[in-house]
Amino acid sequence: MSTRATSVAVVGRDAPLWIAAAAIQRSLGHLGVSVRAIELPSILQPQDVYSAMPAIKGLHKQIGLPENLAIAVAKAVPLVAQRYSNWAGASPPWMVGYDDPPPPGSDVDFVHYWARGRQEGLKPAFEDFSLAASAAKQARVPVYQEGSELSAAYGYNLAAVPYTSLLKAHANRLGVNVEAAAIDDIVTERDRVGAIVLSSGDRIEADLFIDASGPEGVLISRLPGSELESWDEWLPCDRMVVASGAPINPPPLYSQISAFRAGWVGLYPLQDRTAVIAAYNSKHISEAEITESLPLLARIPIAGEAIVSNLRRGLRSRSWIGNCVAVGEAAIGLDPLESLGLYLTHTCISHLMALFPVERNAFPEAERYNPEIALAGQNLRDIQCAHYALNRRFDEPFWDEYRDHTPPESLERKLEVFSLTAHVPLYDEEPFEEQQWAALLSGAGIVPRRYDPRIDVAPDETLIQKVQQRLRDIAIAVPNMPSADDFLKRSREELEVAK
């Protein structure tokens, strides 16, 4: 036990840096592990937004960050669903909400009842049976309701700059030591990081180095075997632009994601403004053109500058090498679609904590971490890729190319099996459960040819009752949920009380 890893240096910037440092400090700081954060200059702009799916609440709990404080500081608005429009010609928009899975041992999933209804000519969209989608449309937050059969979760859209400052202050409070000096040199010894030399002349050594520096991977990219396996063929947007738009009142509880001829533009409501992100392919639209047409695409007034950056999409062949562990975008580059960025960081940290090294000189944990993270990354990529692969914007070169392109095998299986059976094959390390996948795939236009035969055993009246019951349950549950205003007001009040 005397050879345990007792010093950790986290190199990185912005939310991933502070999340990683805070998580380790909070769990292990009082057990003799010292955590040092080496802060690289922020790349955040005031326009930036962190859009986070519901797992963010678990993350806040893990690092001990009060939820209401985060909501207040980051001007957060609950995120109940994503709404996709213009991805499929003239088809109506669809929602992907965060419905909770049915309790174990219950009936087959509701998507099968929907699929059967569709075959019999019934009209409802799958989202009509989704509590989350209904809540999102009626601007209600699906907080936990005692005794309700159905339940859904929600995440947040968070203003990136204040949220990051809050995380930093929180990490500080927890006891993380912060080094803000620039890095002069990174000393590597074969497949290990030996030390980080700062411009102050300080030499930082540690048993374990965490790379939370984003796509650049300042540490991990120095080590052999960390090369990026590109996902460009499946995630077609190579640039993104962020901007700030006028607030929408009251703020919608969903992110609005609209496709246009060379990519998509997303509106992420915050309390005092609307963050705008567009992702696009630079071969199909120029930087000048996108920044100029952004207000038109977003359909809201844009305030100030639009900032363009590159998107690196891919997976490092190894994310944990020697004594260096890459987390978040340092390990895996994604598209901003479906708000998976913070989730990715969170997932990496969770795996790291479960595999936290027990010895400072041997890291067999890496052999587990690497395939787990690769699989998690693949599943995240597939969620995003599904949107591109299933687009129905015909006669636009960008969309035609990615519709016709063969998706990764892991995704192809999901698309095919869902089309044939209404079941979605799930792998280990899935961020989405069957509900989200079904919402995504049915929304994008797949009507399954079959559904689970088990539901046909019951007489037709039972099926009809079941469907009607579901609609009734939703109709009763949603109006009892707080509106965004009520939710935020309550959050502020609770925060006051806590103070």
Partner 1 sequence: MNQALNIVILGGGTAGWMAAAGLISLVSPKLCRIRLIESDEIGTVGVGEATLPHLKNFNDTIGLDEAEMVRNTRATFKLGIQFSDWGFQGSRYIHPFGTYGRATSGSGFHQRWLRARAAGCDWDIGDFSYAIVAARRNRFDFPDTRNAGVSSTYSYAYHLDASVYAGELRKLAESRGVTRTEGKVADVIQDDETGTIRSLILESGEQIDGDFFIDCSGFRSLLLGSTLNVPWEDWSKWLPCDRAFAVPSESANELTPYTRSTAVEAGWRWRIPLQTRTGNGYVFSTGFTNEQDAADSLLNGLDTPALDDPRLLRFKAGRRIVNWEKNCVALGLASGFLEPLESTSIYLIQIALMHLVPLLPLAGMDPRLADEFNRKINVEYDRIRDFLILHYHLTRRDDAEIWRYCANMDVPDSLKEKMELFGHSAHIEQYRDGLFTLPSWLAVYIGQGLIPTAYNPLADNGSTERLIADLEEVRDEISDRVDEMPSHSRFVERYSRMQQPWKLQPAETQL
Task: Examine residue 460 and tell whether it contacts partner 1 (CB under 8 A).
Answer: no
Map residue 437 onto helix, strand or coil: helix
> What tokens were used for 421?
């059976």
CB of 451 to partner 1, least distance (A): 9
For residue 294, the surrounding DSSP H or E stretch is: helix 287-298
Residues 321-360, interacting with partner 1 (CB under 8 A): 353-359
β-bridge partners, 97: 81
Measured from the CB atom, the residue of 68 and 347 that comes closer to partner 1 is 347
Write down the residue that tokens 């007792």 correspond to.
6
Q: Counting Cβ atoms within 10 Å, is residue 419 exposed (0-12), middle (13-18) or buried (19+)? A: middle
β-bridge partners, 102: none
Measured from the CB atom, the residue of 329 and 452 that comes closer to partner 1 is 452
Judged by CB under 8 A, the residue of 413, 445, 482, 490 near partner 1 is 413
Task: Examine residue 403 and tell whether it contacts partner 1 (CB under 8 A).
Answer: no
Q: Counting Cβ atoms within 10 Å, is residue 107 exposed (0-12), middle (13-18) or buried (19+)? A: middle
CB of 247 to partner 1, least distance (A): 41
> What tokens were used for 68?
């209401």
Measured from the CB atom, the residue of 18 and 451 that comes closer to partner 1 is 451
208: phi then psi, degrees, rounded to nearest 5: -135, 130
Judged by CB under 8 A, the residue of 146, 395, 428, 461 near partner 1 is 428
Strands 177-179 and 34-39: parallel
Judged by CB under 8 A, the residue of 99, 207, 329, 430 near partner 1 is 430
Judged by CB under 8 A, the residue of 364, 464, 485, 496 near partner 1 is 364
Q: For the beta carbon of residue 473, count every other beta carbon within 10 angstroms.
A: 15
Judged by CB under 8 A, the residue of 408, 425, 445, 482 near partner 1 is 425
Measured from the CB atom, the residue of 394 and 427 that comes closer to partner 1 is 427
CB of 64 to partner 1, least distance (A): 13
70: phi then psi, degrees, rounded to nearest 5: -60, -40
Q: Give me the 85-124 binding string for partner 1, x by CB under 8 A, dash otherwise.
A: -----------------------x----------x-----
Nearest to 199 by CA among 184, 187, 185, 179: 184
Task: Examine residue 31 and tell whether it contacts partner 1 (CB under 8 A).
Answer: yes
Measured from the CB atom, the residue of 303 and 356 that comes closer to partner 1 is 356
Strand runs (DSSP E) across 235-296, as ranges? 239-245, 254-260, 263-269, 274-280
Nearest to 360 by CA among 174, 198, 223, 193: 193
Judged by CB under 8 A, the residue of 169, 180, 296, 420 near partner 1 is 420
Distances (CA, A) of 174 to 66, 100, 156: 13, 32, 23
**Contact stretch for partner 1 (CB under 8 A) within 272-280, 303-311, 338-346, 444-452:** 444-452
Judged by CB under 8 A, the residue of 1, 90, 288, 497 near partner 1 is 1
Binding residues for partner 1 (CB under 8 A): 1, 4, 27-28, 31, 33, 108, 119, 353-359, 362, 364-365, 367-368, 413, 416-417, 420-421, 423, 425-428, 430, 449-450, 452-454, 456-457
